[in-house]
Amino acid sequence: MSELRFEDVSVRFGSRRRGLTAVDGVDLVVPDGEIVGLVGESGSGKSTLARAAAGLTPVSGGRILLDGKPIGVPARGRRGPNPVQMVFQDPYSSLDPRMTIGESIAEAMPRGVRGGARRAEVTRLLELVDLDGDRAHAYPGLLSGGQRQRVALARALAARPDVIVADEITSALDVSIQGTVLNLVVDLQRELGTSMLFISHNLAVVRYVARTIAVMYLGRIVEHGPADEVLSNPQHPYTRDLLAAVPESLHAESDRMPVGGLDGVALAEPADPHTPPTGCRYHPRCPVGPVVRSDREVCRTDAPTTEHLNLAACHFAPPLAVSPATREASNAAVRGLPASGLHPDGRQTPADPTTDATTDPAPDTGAADLQGAS
């Protein structure tokens, strides 16, 4: 398999005056042989980024690379299947009802596979996704939603892709079926070493399949890191709010963390994506931002960098290399909790100015690992 890389990717629709920037300067890597989860609420730009990767939507800025080579709509002079295949959200509309299951899968195969080899490959792929080979002669209308989604996975694999993009592939399924499809995804990844961008609004689903998670809001990545780190110790208020929306039964004990100021933004309207807010795009809804804290006007004016723990785009997240005391204080700032020795801008107040000026904070040993994960 291969590495999929997004470098400063933007996707814009419409005119310059009334257009919509659905994806804005996204940097993201799907490493070779790994599953990266992309989460965010509806309208965050996840599906647009997925379609751009699969060559279904043109990129307005930046570039998408597969093993260092550009891909996408402008570069589609190639013959044969796209090296990035997409599995869509709705299994009822992604399969042609007039074609048999076998015909749909065979259509995605490279041109060199014909005759008996093609029929054998259809049977092999159906069995790979835990369906009987005899299903090749059935029509989609005779299959359940979970079975159709398995066929969609088989069709994506038929193209022999380098990367698979799975866009909300369980959201249209009954809860009792979702687990079966997720188990299939995990098993296929282990067996085939498939690189995959797995998109969902469900944090519990992404936690199960992905080792790395990126959080997207209004077209931008606001947090990115190892799944355990992001979900057990989220650094961006938006990630914390997403976790707070998950039913308590799905939370690990460490996920239950206080989130201050929720009452102050409970009635805040989501930002209009046609005119996104200046500064931090989450600041109108942020429970620890300027709506609640008048001393945090920097959130309205300055866009935060990602030079923070978990690559969080938050002014008050701890930097990549910090002392334990600074990290604790910054975590308190992100959560909206009182912390002694904390500046309004999130920095720790030196306990002794005469000694602090000559003493550098101890480097955090996890910083290098986090940078490598990005």
Query: For residue 355, which amino acid is it?
Result: T
**Range 4-210: architecture per CATH:** 3-Layer(aba) Sandwich (3.40)
Per mean pLDDT, which range of 58-62, 130-134, 235-239, 257-261 is the poorest?
A: 257-261
* Distance between CA atoms of residues 4 and 64, nearest Å: 7
Average of pLDDT values for 205-210?
92
Residue 351's pLDDT band, with cuts at 50, 70 and 90, is very low
Look at residue 235 in the predicted model and tell me its pLDDT: 92
- Determine which of 2-16, 73-87, 102-116, 246-260 has the lowest per-residue pLDDT on average: 246-260
Residues 168 and 201: beta-carbon distance below 8 Å: yes
More confident residue, 269 or 230: 230
The pLDDT of residue 356 is above 60: no
Mean pLDDT of 311-320: 87
Task: Give residue-wise pLDDT tens across range 156-186.
Answer: 999 999 999 999 999 888 888 888 899 999 9
Q: Could you tell me which residue, 330 or 97, shows the higher pLDDT?
A: 97
Specify the 3-state DSSP secondary structure of 10: strand
**CA atoms of 168 and 174, how far apart (whole Å):** 13
Given a cut of 70, whether residue 79 has pLDDT beyond it is: no
CB atoms within 10 A of CB 44: 25
Which segments of the chain belong to CATH 3.40.50.300? Answer: 4-210
Average pLDDT over residues 71-85: 65
The residue-averaged pLDDT of 1-8 equals: 89
Question: What pLDDT is attached to residue 26?
Answer: 96
CB 205 within 8 A of CB 173: no
Q: Any residues with CB less than 8 A from the CB of 227 and at least 6 apart, and which?
A: 37, 206, 207, 210, 211, 212, 213
> Smallest Cα–Cα separation from 74: which of 63, 83, 87, 66?
63
First to last CA, the chain: 19
Query: In whole angstroms, how far apart are CA 86 and each of 41, 107, 162, 198?
Result: 20, 15, 11, 10
Residue 80 in contact with residue 111, Cβ under 8 Å?
yes
Query: Are 247 and 324 within 8 A, CB to CB?
Result: no
**Nearest-angstrom CA–CA distance, 86 and 72:** 13
H helical segments located in the chain: 46-53, 101-107, 115-128, 145-158, 175-192, 203-209, 227-232, 237-244, 262-265, 298-301, 324-335, 353-356, 366-373
Measured CA to CA, the distance from residue 207 to residue 213 in angstroms comes to 8
- pLDDT over 90 at 9, yes or no: yes
User: Which residue in this structure is represented by tokens 């080979």?
Assistant: 133
Mean of all residue pLDDT scores within the chain: 80
| 66-77 residue pLDDT tens | 999 998 554 444
Written as six digits, the tokens of 146 are 């979970």
